[in-house]
Structure 1
Amino acid sequence: MSHAHDLVPFFEFHLYGKEQIPDLSNLPEPRLFSTHFLFHSLPDSIAKSKCKIIYICRNPFDSCVSVVFHQCNCTIIITQIILEEALERYSEGINEFGPFWTNILGYWRESIETPNKVLFLKYGDLTGDVTFYLKRVAEFLNCPFNSEEEGNGVIENIIELCSFKKMKELDVNKTGKMVGKYENKVFFRKGVAGDWVNHFNPWMVEKLSSVIEERWVWSIFLISLSNTYISIMA
């Protein structure tokens, strides 16, 4: 039994986090990888290739809380002071993989421009209708379920085997560490949407809401303006 991140390794942790460049050709196809990198930080061998990219976007409020618990490695009690200090850094874009708005908007824009290459999913939607989005992912990867598979309960079996509850109960996800740093258990805390309401006070809600409005609305406006200009030039 293997941890999920061992089966779908991270570029930045498992593969390129070492001193030597890995030979990915030794891995059997189809090859699956994970990453937190911004889209414009991906090499051309990925960004301009025919590979498929599935991006899962999480509510920034939930994402902020998740980052705090993950970085603290669940070894200390998360106080309100710790949360508020983390929110300040999060709101300023101080993150290992760049500002959350840049990360999300980069993949969102690519999903609009190249929908056959980038599939943009929202975590809240995905958990709300797992069957629909499982079929959507299968279609995106050009391996849709046939009527026989659907009739034999293949979709239901996949959902059960890959459910958060099932994954969290596996011994391999309760012990051990990823790249010798993060305990495997910290990757399986709650897995629900909307848990931020149990941690954010009114000041924090107002703070992050203003950041989202300022960063996203303005960025989307610039993107739409750019697309309009391109259309006129064409």
Structure 2
Amino acid sequence: MSYKDFEVYNLNDGGGGILHNQMLVDGMRIPTFRKPPEETAAILRNIKHLKIRDDDIMLCTPVKSGTHWCFEILTMLLNGATERSDLQKIFLMLINVPEEELDLMKSPRILNTHFPFRMLPSQTKKKHTKIVLVLRNPKDLVVSLYYHHTGMTNYFYNGTFSDHLKLFMEGKLMYNSWFDYVLEFEKALDDEPDRIHLTFYEDLKENGVEEIKKIADFLEVPAASDPELIAAINDQCQFDTMKKEKQYGPELAKKIFIDPSKFNMYRKGEIGDWKNHFTVAENERFDQLFEEKMKTSKLRFRFEPSIK
């Protein structure tokens, strides 16, 4: 079904599974978020024109790369305290919130998005906005995304992991190609290294204190000179703790189409869980695609835990 110059559709995975409530707007694949499609398209198209404040922080991640987790870390760093905030990252997610609601949020705001660098608000460059970029190895990412699609009732997806993996490798899932996203941000990192800080999900999980200190230094917050606070933030933001304490409440869960008895935004968070899902043949095909797509990249992704 078409609505003017964008499309709302259900995505067939080729094996009998259907991913519902998808949109194609100006070449970008996104979920509808179960809003009227005109509203979602309007929010997307307004992102480039958003008013950015001098103290805004931009949290940029491919989908399922630890956005909720890093949002909590950034919140504690900016607040200089480990008290758990009631604020969820979804209230500052650029594609999900109209500008008039963003304008009501208190500073400093942690604006977050899964969109590529070229789609960030134009004022982020004029104001030299600090960007925290978090990247996760794509094998674990696609596993997490599969459970996201099967667990959230918004998508009604019941396809197999193998068919879902094919869609990911073809760049047909939400926010388009992971490879294009990473390569575009890598160029931005080379061009503007002083305003973009890269954190790898795997490093943050295994060396939390060290990585959080690097983020604090980049943000130039008082917490950077407080090792006890950095350690406390790391403790408070351990995956299992977040899973227990940052679960969506019943009202918000219903609003964003989550059944808390069946789905949690924090599933496993493990490094190397992809080995429980990829067949040998799938892994070989993925490695071949990764090598082809990332041949010009200097970034190094880890697909397994560090040996200790």
- In the alignment, which residue of structure 1 is the partner of 2:21? none
Q: Distance in 2 between matches of 1:74 and 1:26?
A: 28
What secondary structure is seen at the aligned counterpart in 2 of 1:177?
Answer: helix
* Residue identity in the other structure for 2:229: V
- In the alignment, which residue of structure 1 is the partner of 2:268? 190
- In the alignment, which residue of structure 1 is the partner of 2:256? 180
- In the alignment, which residue of structure 2 is the partner of 1:27? 105
Q: Distance in 2 between matches of 1:186 and 1:47?
A: 35
Task: Tell me how many residue pairs correspond in the alignment.
Answer: 209
* Residue identity in the other structure for 2:200: K
Describe how 1:122-161 pairs up with structure 2 within 5 A. Answer: 122-143=200-221, 145=223, 147=225, 149-150=226-227, 153-161=228-236
Percent identity of paired positions between Structure 1 and Structure 2: 25
- In the alignment, which residue of structure 2 is the partner of 1:101? 179
- In the alignment, which residue of structure 2 is the partner of 1:227? none
**Displacement after TM superposition at 1:56 (Å):** 0.7
Q: Structure 1 residues 128 and 35 mapped into 2: Cα distance closer, same or farther (>3 Å)?
A: same
Q: Distance in 1 between matches of 2:161 and 2:192?
A: 37
**Cα RMSD between the aligned structures?**
2.7
* Residue identity in the other structure for 1:181: F
Check conservation: 2:135, 2:198, Cα contact below 8 A. yes
Describe how 1:1-234 pairs up with structure 2 within 5 A. Answer: 2=86, 4-6=88-90, 9-13=92-96, 15-16=97-98, 21-22=99-100, 24-73=102-151, 82-143=160-221, 145=223, 147=225, 149-150=226-227, 153-170=228-245, 172-173=247-248, 175=250, 176-177=252-253, 179-183=255-259, 185-217=263-295, 219-220=296-297
**Displacement after TM superposition at 1:43 (Å):** 2.7
Q: Distance in 2 between matches of 1:179 and 1:37?
A: 23
Q: Distance in 2 between matches of 1:159 and 1:43?
A: 30
Q: Distance in 2 between matches of 1:9 and 1:24?
A: 7
* Residue identity in the other structure for 1:12: I
Question: When the two structures are superposed, what TM-score results if normalisation uses the length of structure 1?
Answer: 0.79
* Residue identity in the other structure for 2:161: L
What secondary structure is seen at the aligned counterpart in 2 of 1:12?
Answer: coil
Q: Distance in 2 between matches of 1:118 and 1:138?
A: 13
- The list of structure 1 runs, each at least 4 consecutive aligned residues, that deviate by more than 4 angstroms after superposition, is none
Q: In structure 1, list runs of 5 or more residues that go unmatched.
A: 222-234
Q: Structure 1 residues 24 and 92 mapped into 2: Cα distance closer, same or farther (>3 Å)?
A: same
Q: Distance in 2 between matches of 1:93 and 1:146?
A: 38
Q: Distance in 1 between matches of 2:198 and 2:259?
A: 28
Determine which structure has the larger helix proportion and give its number. 1
Q: In structure 2, list runs of 5 or more residues that go unmatched.
A: 1-84, 299-308
Q: Structure 1 residues 156 and 202 mapped into 2: Cα distance closer, same or farther (>3 Å)?
A: same
Check conservation: 1:3, 1:173, Cα contact below 8 A. no
Deviations 1:96-134 (A, max 9, x none): 111000111222221222112111111111111101100
